[in-house]
Structure 1
């Protein structure tokens, strides 16, 4: 059985300093039934990019061979599918020779990617996709400051 796993990160007030963020994950079986959901609160200063990467890591940790992860983050999807190998070849530098941001998270992603075959696809945010909407809601709820 393979799963469709949706991941999302939420960083309220990202432009003005996010003091608490959230991660959401929702996994559906082949029949489209919810099998697993989780929301994780990150209680420290963070950014949307960092939270999206952390959500991808959570999805990869949950995933097994043959599963598919959906993210609404272009950065995560392109990084996973297109850029990761090139960054490693250049010593974790981008094509402009600047260091890759959040390198430690990308290294975790690379390690998880090497252990199982998981595809990562882009899903359009706020487009009515049930899985993405659920992951987004879980992330937003986790990010709400008490």
Structure 2
């Protein structure tokens, strides 16, 4: 029997496109694992997808996963048959344009093969503590990678030593 893992994800972008971050939380029994990452030039939708992909990649074995996201883009692809339609149409939209973020969609489809999964749409920026934490992780990743870093003096000590 596969282990049941609950995953929360969120992506953020400072400008769209612009610097972006993603955050994810994996919950298994009483264990919690937080992940986050940064891309220097990306879009919000790419960060939403990247959060899901990296969270699933962090799993060490096939699992039964429930992905909770505030991204209608991600949820609609699964709930409304977009993925099946894109695949059947040679990765083209109904207007015959190439599907955006095809590289990430294909990566996601590939890693989902070994898992059983569901996608759950949650309301963004509401009272969901895990979604809010993922949002904070994503924004923190952007902030840490776009703000000037503390300068070091000749001794190699940072001028912003927290201890």
Same fold per superposition (TM over 0.5): yes
Structure 2 counterparts to residues 30-69 of structure 1, below 5 A = 30=29, 33=30, 35-42=32-39, 44-63=40-59, 64-69=62-67
Q: Distance in 2 between matches of 1:34 and 1:134?
A: 16
Q: Which runs of 5+ in 2 are unaligned?
A: 148-163
TM-score, normalized by length of structure 2? 0.79
* Residues matched between the structures, number: 140
Q: Distance in 2 between matches of 1:73 and 1:29?
A: 22
Q: Which runs of 5+ in 1 are unaligned?
A: none
* Cα-Cα RMSD: 1.5
Greater Cα shift, 77-86 or 87-96 = 77-86
Q: Distance in 2 between matches of 1:138 and 1:39?
A: 6
Structure index of larger Rg: 2
| Structure with the largest fraction of strand | 2
Instruction: Output one character per residue of 1:8-66: Cα deviation in whole Å (capped at 9) or x when no partner.
Output: 1110122xx41x21110112234xx4510011122x21111111111121122235421
TM-score, normalized by length of structure 1? 0.88
**2:118 equivalent to 1:116:** no
Inter-CA distance 34–65: structure 2 relative to 1 (3 Å threshold): closer
